[in-house]
Amino acid sequence: MSEIGDVAGIATGMPSLLSGDEQQQLAHYEGIIERGLTTFIDVGNALAAVRDERLYKQYGTFEDYCHERWNMARRTAYQFIEASIVVENVRNCAQILPVNEAQARPLTRLEPEQQREVWRKAVETAPGGKVTGAHVKRTMAVHYSSASHEWYTPPEILERVMLTMGEITLDPCSNSGEQPNVAAQYHLTAKDDGLSHPWFGRVFMNPPYGREIGGWTDYLCEQFECGNVPEAVALVPARTDTEWFRRLKKYPRCFVWGRLKFSGMENSAPFPSMIVYLGRNVEKFVRAFGDIGDVYALMGAESVRVQEQAAAG
């Protein structure tokens, strides 16, 4: 790794697109990253700041920044970010905190309230008072054996996806390559690690709904914005208080009325859903989804309902 004392751009020999203040900010965050990769909380917070403040822009994408600056896979970077978020969330629920990324990683698949409950129980029941990543996983299995972040897309949603885009080229979050829930030409499963591959064609994404969802939505936007993906539809929970929701705000989206009943589930989901469209055929998207929810698009500085426009047209 290069010396972090040099400001960004000078140390790498690359022309800088950052202002003087931004270079100083980037140097500060990179100093934290380089000093350790041992203090995972500080590293995760620093990586999140570089991402959220878009201080990576001279490298192109956040993925390129992680790879070229730190020889770090995007997945690894998001593991640090998600683990640091977990620590902040469980900070006041137990006498001790996770001291390494392995202890925090299992909790990233849970909602914040569940994270606090599982961590508290893991601390209370740890053999010899020693909490390990394996013990956290066992605690999760006992108390959340039925918890799942795999919500299989209902057929009525897939029908509307195909009305919008036609044939689906890629499902990067597929449940199976042999018996997939989504009829696509290509499938990437959890074993394939969809975030480590470039995406292409018409993409339908129904990502894992745990804390890692931000990595998936961010990657979808990057792949669309760089031109790899000409058109995409994403089915995600309507969590308007999250950073990843704001990343999607400039794209048309349908807020589904009521709660979806996902395939294989006995009851409706305990959260509201939205469908987001990335592409040029907005009118097709509105016609396909306008009968199951309110469709909005960002027009200038205001969010304007477009369902009536499509109906009138």
Report whether 79 contacts 105 (CB < 8 A): yes
Pull the structure tokens for residue 193. 């690690």
pLDDT of residue 144: 54
DSSP 152: B
Q: Longest Cα pair distance anywhere in the chain, in angstroms?
A: 69
Instruction: Quote the pTM value.
Output: 0.55
Pull the structure tokens for residue 196. 């480590």
Distance CA 126, CA 98 (A): 13
Pull the structure tokens for residue 77. 């970077």
pLDDT of residue 270: 79
235 three-state secondary structure: strand
pLDDT of residue 307: 45
DSSP 14: P
Tell me how many degrees the CA angle 31-37-38 measures, rounded to the nearest 5. 115
H-helix or E-strand spanning residue 274: strand 273-278
Report whether 290 contacts 307 (CB < 8 A): yes
Predicted confidence (pLDDT) per residue in 194-235, tens digit? 888 899 999 999 988 877 788 899 999 999 999 999 999 999
Distance CA 90, CA 291 (A): 41
Question: Which residue type does 259 have?
Answer: R
Predicted confidence (pLDDT) per residue in 25-55, tens digit? 888 887 776 665 457 888 889 999 999 888 9
| Burial group, residue 138, by CB count within 10 angstroms (0-12, 13-18, 19+) | middle
pLDDT of residue 1: 35
Give bridge partners of residue 293 from the DSSP assignment.
256
End-to-end C-alpha distance for the chain, whole angstroms: 57
Distance CA 83, CA 104 (A): 5
Report whether 30 contacts 24 (CB < 8 A): no
Pull the structure tokens for residue 103. 């202890």
How many Cα atoms within 13 Å fall on the side-chain side of residue 165?
23
Pull the structure tokens for residue 272. 């509201």
Report whether 272 contacts 237 (CB < 8 A): yes
Closest-CA residue to 204 (of 304, 269, 285): 285
Mean pLDDT by 10 residues, the chain (313 residues): 36 64 83 64 89 90 90 87 88 84 82 85 87 85 51 86 93 82 88 89 90 88 95 93 89 93 73 94 93 83 46 48
